[in-house]
Every structure is written in structure tokens, then in C-alpha cells.
Amino acid sequence: MSNDCLPAMLDTLKRSAGALREAGVPFMLGGGLACWARGGPESDHDLDLMVKPEDAEEALATLAAIGLRPEKPTEGWLYKAFDEDDVMVDIIFSPVGVPITDEVLARADMLEVEAQPMLVMTLEDVLVTKLLALDENSLDYKAVLQIARSLREQIDWEDVRSRTAESAYAAAFFTLVEELGVAVTSRNEG
């Protein structure tokens, strides 16, 4: 999907968010669109809706009821739903590093996204999930660097660093953003 598809993604977001809200399924916007909602780069991949594991089946059924094509991939941590414009909605219920719980939903921010109030995942939680998903088979720093550059003043860098400390790939990211002057942490202050 290119950035030309952002309007279709936002239309799908509005329909999906409205349906989930009407069905009483707690959710929050995650991933690239959560960053975009705060002034970050345009998302060009998919739409991430974060739900608790016990709500995942109902969320998928709710989106199917409004005409999205449901899919249950083998990964075991997400479901997918596709709109008629091939907009992909990831229903994520078990991302790496941030189990979706009432506590995680409670710390999300209520923001207006395309004139709809909705919970939006914290930037720290988004970055933690993205950094902990990096491995030798999936090592692309482009998206996290774009988020870091555009939203650096809004991010609690010490929180993200401490929550990703066990990842060598996250450590490499921190070396990069600190050397570039994007992130100021206790390691490069002064």
C-alpha cells in the first residue's frame, strides 16, 4: 500500500472503530496510524487495532458483520480483516512486549482521529512493540527511525530503553538515534 491509500485506510478505520464501539468491544488504535494521529509519518502499510485476547474473536466477528473479509493466520497473535479496497486491518491481541490488558488500554490517550474520538496506543508502547519485533529475519529500522525523528519530543526515551533492554536490535536502534541526536537519554546527555 502506498501513501495514496491513506484515505481508504482512514475510511476503513472510521467504519471499523464505529462498529467496535457500537458492539462494546474495547480497542485502541496502534502501529503506524497511532503515530500518524500524533503528527508522525503517514502510515502506508495497514491499520492496527489492538484488543485484549479475550475480545479478539468478537472484534473479528464485528468487522466481518460490516463486510470485511475475516482471516485467521497461523501466527497466533493477530487476526486480519480485509475491506473491499483491500485495506488490511490487523486485529492484534498479543504483540511482542506489550500484552494488551485493561492497564494498557487505560494508559492509551483519547484522541480525535478523523473526527472520531478513540483510544490511541501510547508512543512508548508502539515503539516497544516495533523494536521487540525486530530480529535477524525482520531487520528494518526505517519505520522506527521515521517515528523517532518526527515525534522525538513526545517520547519517553528512558521508558522505551528500559522496556527493550533485552534486545540487541533495540540497543542498536538506540545507538543510532543517540548518535544522530534524535533521542536524548541518560547515556548521551551533557
- Kindly indicate the confidence band of residue 46, based on its pLDDT and cuts at 50, 70 and 90: confident
Q: Phi/psi of residue 189, each to 5°?
A: -70, 155
Provide the number of structural domains found in the chain.
2
Q: Please indicate, yes or no, whether residues 26 and 106 belong to a single structural domain of this protein.
A: yes
Q: Please indicate, yes or no, whether residues 103 and 54 belong to a single structural domain of this protein.
A: yes
**Residue 187's pLDDT is what?**
66
Q: CATH no. for residue 60?
A: 3.30.460.40
- For residue 90, CA distances in Å to 80, 168, 181 come to 5, 27, 33
For residue 12, give its domain range: 1-121
* Average pLDDT value for the chain: 93
Q: Please indicate, yes or no, whether residues 69 and 54 belong to a single structural domain of this protein.
A: yes
Q: Please indicate, yes or no, whether residues 109 and 138 belong to a single structural domain of this protein.
A: no
Nearest to 5 by CA among 87, 89, 113: 87
**Residue 130's pLDDT is what?**
96
The pTM for the full model equals 0.92
Q: Which residue, chain included where needed, has cell 464501539?
A: 21
Condensed to tens digits (0 to 9), the pLDDT of residues 52-75 reads 999 999 999 999 999 999 999 999
Q: Please indicate, yes or no, whether residues 187 and 149 belong to a single structural domain of this protein.
A: yes
